[in-house]
Structure 1
Amino acid sequence: MTTPPGPEAPVLDTHPTAAALWAATHAERAALADDLAALTDRQWATASLCARWSVEDVVAHLSAAAATGRVRWITSVARARFRPDVHNDRRLAEQRGAGPAGTLARFRTLVPSTTAPLGPVAAWLGEVVVHAQDVRRPLGLTAAPPVPVVTAVARLYAARDVAVDSRTAAAGLSLRASDGPFTAGEGPEVSGTTLALVMAMAGRGAFCDELSGPGARVLRERATRV
């Protein structure tokens, strides 16, 4: 059986519409699903860059975000007595299949979903961009989103703390992408690819070796505290 091609990522301008951001989100989900299709069970159990979670856990988490609307998400958090780990563990259990193949199949059904708990669409694009690298990097997979897609996430992360304390991480620093138009902030400069800047703002210290400039040490220290 041949898997149909996933959606193509749109070209995102400086002020992308919600529709364009959702289209990019769908394309990144599809690309990740394709990357994981040939994994062995052992690879599915590989530790991701996201604390406590395996590759399969991260995929189940992405499914939970794409399957749970605002009211149900808030209810789940409240029932967990506002303990994020309890809330996340319950949603992971809900989205995991009987094995990795089932977890991936569930994720594929949610590729075109526009359901999201809270926040701007760019935050949910960021969720896929960041978590995809959380699993690709430990697995040795080198795929990355197009620079315009990552740029949309970088702009949000530098401007707001959303699912991660990205703006806080970047405070007092001048961020400059080496592969695209993204710039933000004032202070000691940190330069690197747009993806490395996004991952560092998201607290992934593993990407800080790809950054340079007088502010890189500060961003590394903040990233590795997460």
Structure 2
Amino acid sequence: MTDVWELVRAEREALADDLAGLTDEQWEAPSWCGGWTVHDVAAHLVDNARTTRIGIVLAMARARFDFDRQNDQGVARWKGATPAETLGRLREVVGRTTTPPAPLDSRLVEEVVHGEDVRRPLGLVRDYPSETVERALAHQLRTSVGLGGGKQRVAGLRLVATDADLSYGDGVEVSGPLVSLLMVVSGRGQALGDLSGPGIGRLEQGLSGSS
């Protein structure tokens, strides 16, 4: 397998390049990450890239161990006064290899899912390397929702990628593009329209019941 940090760096660079072409109005557009603008997501990715094993403990303590508050504080810390300032900060961290105490493939989840949180509402499309998305999806499928994954959302379902020779799980089938499967497993119900199959209703229930 490719070193995870090579894949992470490629995603950071690709997103920074996409963001460089946005207008100020697009930076303030709502993302697919509830309550955050495109600008907020970019700032979160800066914060995420700068996270260390000790730093996350200190950040959680400052947020009184409220995960959402900790994320919002990170956005406030790294969101620049202008989009250009935040973009510069994002470019500064493309090569960082620090991480919280989590499996390394979770870094791929962060980059791809948040990348799509930004791109999809703006109509931007990225042709992701298959390995990057496959590893991110595999991580989400084995990780509990409480830890940021999507394991419970797909219980009793068989996910089939229509753009790769891959399937996951046993049960009622849901099929669609690999990236869209990843987005739905990660709690983005906005991508349900890309999927089909007799298991869609069950997947919708999983989203509403474990988000």
| TM-score of Structure 1 vs Structure 2, range by shorter chain | over 0.9
The question of 1:142 aligning with 2:125 is answered yes
Matches within 5 A, 1:117-156: 117-156=100-139
- Tell me the CA shift for residue 172 of structure 1: 1.3
Matches within 5 A, 1:112-191: 112-161=95-144, 163-191=147-175
Q: In the alignment, is the contact (CA less than 8 A) between 2:161 and 2:178 conserved in 1? A: yes
Structure 1 length as normaliser, TM-score? 0.88
Paired residue total: 209
Q: In the alignment, is the contact (CA less than 8 A) between 2:139 and 2:149 conserved in 1? A: no
Which residue identity is paired with 1:180? A
Q: For 1:22-80, what per-residue CA distance to the aligned partner results, in whole angstroms no more than 9, with x for missing partners?
A: 10110011001001102111110000000110001001111111112011111111221
Work out the CA distance in 1 between the residues paired with 2:208 and 2:165.
Answer: 26
User: CA 1:147 to 1:215, structure 2 compared with 1: closer, same or farther past 3 Å?
Assistant: same
The percent of aligned pairs where both chains have the same amino acid is 43
4+ residue stretches of structure 1 with deviation over 4 A? Answer: none
Match in the other structure for 1:50: 33
Q: Which secondary structure state, in structure 1, belongs to the residue aligned with residue 159 of structure 2?
A: strand
Q: In the alignment, is the contact (CA less than 8 A) between 1:190 and 1:216 conserved in 2? A: yes
Q: In the alignment, is the contact (CA less than 8 A) between 1:202 and 1:223 conserved in 2? A: no
Q: 1:220 aligns with which of 192, 204, 209?
A: 204
Aligned-CA RMSD value:
1.5
Q: In the alignment, is the contact (CA less than 8 A) between 2:157 and 2:172 conserved in 1? A: yes
Worse overlay, 160-169 or 97-106? 160-169
Q: In the alignment, is the contact (CA less than 8 A) between 1:155 and 1:182 conserved in 2? A: no
Gapped regions of structure 2 (runs ≥ 5): none
- Tell me the CA shift for residue 214 of structure 1: 1.1
Work out the CA distance in 1 between the residues paired with 2:83 and 2:100.
Answer: 24
Which residue identity is paired with 1:56? H
Q: Which secondary structure state, in structure 2, belongs to the residue aligned with residue 115 of structure 1?
A: coil
Match in the other structure for 2:83: 100
User: CA 1:224 to 1:141, structure 2 compared with 1: closer, same or farther past 3 Å?
Assistant: farther
Relative to its length, the structure with more helix (as a share) is 2
Work out the CA distance in 2 between the residues paired with 1:56 and 1:145.
Answer: 22
